[in-house]
């Protein structure tokens, strides 16, 4: 029960944060180009974001792998398995040097989309998505079109699956959520 209350508290706090004037203008804006980056996964394999474009759109998810985010992994995995030819899914760990949690998540959920390590929070800093160490930024989910521009931003654990799929279908070439 305490975990449920904690999850509800954080979801309410995230929603309330979006209503406050101070949270507007935070981070990369809709229409801006995402800076390119190269990060490695737990096995040391490097991935460069720009190599996704112009063939695919992308979902960029900056995560601390909390329970709320963990609940959405199956949705992202399903998209990766069924639409991976049109959209790349990229998770970026905001847990600093913690490798045990990402390893556990990969094994538990059998994730096959990349979970990239960003121990210095380079991506968060470049996207101006400031957040406390070990936490997610307020906008931890970006849908990026094939030109590398942000088309949608939200917090993954605070968005309904249907809304997310509708937003994604509006960006991904030749795909609808239905």
For the chain, the average pLDDT equals 87
21 inside domain: no
Residues in the chain: 178
What pLDDT is stored for residue 17 in this prediction? 52
What pLDDT is stored for residue 173 in this prediction? 74
11 inside domain: no
Number of domains in the chain: 1
Q: Looking at residue 43, which CATH number applies to its domain?
A: 3.40.30.10
Lowest mean pLDDT among 14-18, 111-115, 139-143, 171-175: 14-18
- Each residue's pLDDT tens digit, 2-31: 555 555 565 555 545 544 444 445 899 999
> Which residues constitute the domain of residue 165?
30-171
Please, what is the end-to-end C-alpha distance for the chain in angstroms? 35
- Each residue's pLDDT tens digit, 154-164: 999 999 999 99
């Amino acid at each position: 029960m305490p975990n449920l209350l904690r999850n509800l508290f954080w979801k309410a706090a995230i929603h309330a944060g979006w209503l406050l004037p101070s949270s507007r203008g935070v981070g990369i804006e809709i229409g801006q180009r995402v800076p390119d980056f190269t990060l490695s996964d737990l096995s040391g394999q490097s991935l460069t974001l720009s190599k996704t474009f112009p063939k695919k759109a992308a979902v960029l998810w900056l995560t601390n792998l909390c329970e709320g985010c963990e609940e959405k992994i199956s949705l992202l995995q399903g998209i990766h398995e069924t639409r991976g030819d049109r959209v790349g899914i990229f998770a970026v760990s905001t847990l600093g040097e913690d490798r045990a949690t990402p390893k556990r998540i990969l094994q538990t959920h059998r994730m096959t989309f990349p979970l990239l390590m960003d121990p210095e929070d380079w991506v968060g800093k470049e996207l101006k998505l400031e957040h406390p160490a070990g936490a997610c930024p307020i906008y931890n989910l970006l849908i990026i079109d094939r030109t590398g521009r942000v088309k949608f931003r939200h917090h993954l654990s605070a968005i309904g699956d249907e809304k997310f799929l509708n937003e994604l279908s509006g960006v991904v070439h030749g795909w609808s959520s239905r």
